[in-house]
């Protein structure tokens, strides 16, 4: 980014967010929605698609021979195929619908990883992990007597892959779990390098892509991870929708963790056999409208030109620069290659107070430990404030953010 960019100059090569913003009814309330990393809003097209399913096609998929059942099955499996295409999967059967990233990760830790590790084995997570990609591995390692290891950070806030590769030389590592994009530091980790190093050591890798799918092109073949998890609600889809992708051979090894209807092939009095992958992992009535909404969100997201993502990154960097220029404000994370968010601390002002002042001015941000307490301790803070952007945000939203932080400083210091 040009450090001499004037306040009036448009970021992102002149990209205009107005057409995007008008597709979100909720933003008609004059809100500066800067909490996109926690959850995005839903465009009208996604809401209409879900409404149309319930109004015209509602039935249990794969369970009925009547017309509505056939339509519901087509909608559900069509959504699975769209997800597979979006992430570069070899087959729709590699796509498991879940309630979100957390559920997807727990399926892997409880259905496969915990039975694959034991005393003397090691499981690695990175220092930047969200609790959803830390606690399940922590608990699996604790239950099975394995050791949880942490990929440390370099002074500038990137993963220290040299120390990670040194640790792998003990040949005790079975699993590695890593976030593609940190929800606190805002930059992408080199997950391809993590996968190469882990595979060379005989370990398997799960990538948490929750913060990546809305901003980066996803191709699981190119990443060469073993599992990938993400949530619909962070990419303009509905809450309660998500995906676990896994290599087919590994999915075949995962034991179901939810038992009941439609995940079975046969039930006898004393034993049961499971349905084929991925259906064995989707017990109970599925969230078909959620899958439809997720597929529609993928279509909507896929229409963004590259300039839209450049624009979002420019907004984040502009916010970073203007916040860092305020006396007493510290911005966290590397100063280069910021994708969509900026986390910061204001000396003498609690992040919750910053957020409340901003809220009173119609600017919505996140404040707290961001479900990343181990990282907060490494940073030496209890909590931070975070602003996160999407292609419908504006330079004026950044102005309102910075003015609100300045107002909080004046009020509390």
Please give the pLDDT value at position 182: 98
Active site residues: 371
Question: Side-chain half-sphere of 270: how many Cα atoms within 13 Å?
Answer: 0
- How is 110-129 classified by DSSP, letter by letter? IIIIHHH--TT-EEEEETT-
* Listed residue (195, 232, 209, 246) closest to 84, CA to CA: 246
- What does the pLDDT read at residue 157? 93
* Phi, psi (degrees; rounded to nearest 5) at 385: -105, 150
CATH of domain 12-42+305-412: 3.90.1150.10
Delimit the domains of the chain by residue range: 12-42+305-412, 61-302
Task: Identify the CATH number of the domain defined by range 61-302.
Answer: 3.40.640.10
**In sequence order, which residues have a C-beta less than 8 Å from that of residue 228 and are 6 or more positions away?**
87, 206, 207, 209, 218, 220, 243, 244, 245, 246
Position of tokens 């290599």? 247
| Predicted pLDDT at 9 | 46
Question: Which pLDDT score is estimated for 11?
Answer: 58
Q: Can you list the alpha helix ranges (DSSP code H) found in 247-305?
A: 248-251, 288-302
pLDDT value of residue 326: 98
What's the pLDDT tens digit per position in 75-133?
999 999 999 999 999 999 999 999 999 999 999 999 999 999 999 999 999 999 999 99
Is residue 280 within 8 Å of residue 94, measured between CB atoms?
no
CA 344/CA 340 separation, integer angstroms: 14
Q: Residue written as tokens 């998890």?
A: 229
Residue 12 structure tokens: 């992102």
Q: Which residues of the chain have pLDDT under 50?
A: 1-9
pLDDT for the residue numbered 337: 86
Question: From CA 37, how far away is CA 283, in angstroms rounded?
Answer: 29
Burial 28-55 (b: 16+ CB within 10 A, else e): eeebbbbbbbbbbbbbeebbebbeebee
| Contact in structure between 197 and 161 (CB atoms under 8 Å) | yes
pTM for the complete prediction? 0.95
Angle between helices 351-360 and 395-412 in degrees, nearest 10: 120
| Segment 353-384, tens digit of pLDDT | 999 999 999 999 999 999 999 999 999 999 99
CA distance 322 to 149: 37
């Amino acid at each position: 980014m040009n450090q001499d960019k004037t306040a009036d100059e448009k970021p992102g090569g002149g990209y205009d967010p107005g057409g995007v913003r008008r597709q979100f009814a909720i933003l008609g309330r004059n809100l500066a929605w800067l909490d996109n990393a926690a959850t995005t809003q839903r465009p009208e097209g996604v809401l209409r698609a879900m409404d149309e399913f319930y109004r015209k096609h509602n039935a249990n998929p794969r369970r009925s021979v009547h017309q509505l059942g056939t339509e519901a099955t087509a909608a559900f499996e069509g959504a699975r195929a769209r997800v597979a295409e979006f992430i570069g999967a070899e087959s729709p059967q590699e796509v498991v619908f879940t309630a979100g990233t957390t559920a997807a990760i727990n399926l892997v830790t409880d259905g496969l990883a915990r039975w694959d590790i034991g005393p003397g084995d090691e499981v690695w997570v990175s220092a930047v992990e969200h609790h959803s990609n830390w606690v399940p591995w922590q608990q699996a390692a604790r239950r099975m007597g394995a050791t949880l290891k942490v990929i440390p950070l370099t002074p500038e806030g990137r993963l220290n892959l040299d120390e990670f590769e040194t640790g792998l030389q003990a040949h005790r590592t079975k699993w590695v779990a890593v976030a593609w994009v940190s929800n606190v530091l805002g930059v992408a980790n080199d997950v391809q390098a993590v996968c190469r190093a882990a595979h060379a050591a005989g370990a398997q890798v799960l990538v948490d892509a929750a913060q990546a799918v809305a901003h980066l092109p996803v191709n699981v073949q190119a990443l060469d991870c073993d599992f990938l998890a993400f949530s619909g609600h962070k990419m303009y889809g509905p809450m309660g929708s998500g995906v676990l992708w896994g290599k087919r051979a590994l999915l075949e090894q995962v034991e179901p963790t939810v038992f009941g209807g439609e995940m079975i092939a046969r039930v006898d009095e004393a034993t049961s056999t499971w349905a084929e992958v991925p259906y064995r992992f989707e017990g109970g009535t599925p969230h078909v409208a959620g899958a439809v909404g997720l597929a529609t969100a993928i279509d909507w997201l896929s229409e963004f030109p590259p300039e839209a993502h450049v624009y979002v990154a420019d907004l984040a960097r502009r916010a970073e620069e203007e916040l860092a220029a305020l006396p007493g404000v510290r911005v966290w994370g590397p100063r280069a290659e910021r994708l969509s968010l900026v986390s910061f601390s204001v000396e003498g002002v609690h992040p919750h107070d910053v957020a409340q002042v901003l809220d009173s001015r119609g600017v919505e941000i996140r404040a707290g430990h961001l479900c990343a307490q181990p990282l907060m301790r490494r940073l030496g803070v209890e909590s931070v404030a975070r602003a996160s952007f999407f292609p419908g945000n504006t330079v004026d939203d950044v102005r309102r953010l910075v003015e609100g932080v300045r107002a909080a400083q004046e009020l509390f210091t």
